[in-house]
């Protein structure tokens, strides 16, 4: 698989196999057929995971965990989270578009473009997730109404 990818890498100036594998676990892809399309799917899985996590900050539904985590962010911080969410969702939908009609060159461009964007998105996500994680060790009182538990 890596050998096949390296041929495509040379052709389209893609990121190194190890870098993509580290970020998106592309070594778990089983079929060489439409390899770039399969890599794009792996990227979309990662985007979907983080988008869902960020979405709970804006729309916490009724889960106690989501409500707690949402209350961790003030309005200004939520605006910053929204910027990251929008970037991720742009690429998520761009990949959806590529699913309609597969083009190897366009898919290669998508992979390169997202990989570059991911380098700037990742540190921002780390900050957000650290804030969420740390909120669970904080004694800070949250504004949750805990009047009914079934």
Task: Give the mean pLDDT of 97-123.
Answer: 96
pTM tops 0.75, yes or no: yes
Q: Residue 28 has what DSSP assignment?
A: G
Task: Give the mean pLDDT of 103-131.
Answer: 97
Judged against a pLDDT cut of 70, whether residue 10 lies above it is answered with yes
58-106 pLDDT, tens digit per residue, is: 888 778 888 889 999 999 999 999 999 999 999 999 999 999 988 999 9
31-41 pLDDT, tens digit per residue, is: 888 999 999 99
Q: Are 17 and 2 in contact (CB under 8 A)?
A: yes
CB burial of residue 43 (10 Å; 0-12, 13-18, 19+): buried
What secondary structure does DSSP assign to 38-99, as a single string? HHHHHHHHHHHHHHHHHHHHH--TT-HHHHHHHTTS-HHHHHHHHHHHHHHHHHHHHHHHHH
Predicted pLDDT of residue 147 = 46
Q: Which residue has the higher pLDDT, 126 or 61?
A: 126
């Amino acid at each position: 698989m890596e050998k096949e990818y390296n041929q495509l890498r040379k052709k389209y100036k893609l990121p190194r196999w190890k870098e993509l594998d580290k970020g998106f676990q592309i070594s778990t892809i089983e079929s060489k057929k439409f390899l770039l399309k399969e890599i794009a799917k792996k990227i979309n899985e990662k985007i979907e995971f983080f988008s869902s996590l960020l979405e709970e900050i804006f729309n916490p539904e009724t889960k106690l965990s989501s409500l707690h985590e949402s209350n961790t962010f003030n309005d200004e911080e939520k605006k910053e989270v929204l910027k990251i969410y929008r970037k991720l969702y742009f690429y998520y939908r761009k990949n959806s578009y590529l699913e309609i009609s597969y083009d190897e060159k366009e898919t290669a461009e998508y992979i390169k473009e997202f990989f570059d964007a991911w380098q700037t998105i990742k540190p921002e996500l780390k900050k957000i997730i650290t804030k969420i994680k740390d909120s669970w060790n904080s004694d800070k009182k949250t504004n949750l109404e805990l009047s009914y538990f079934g």
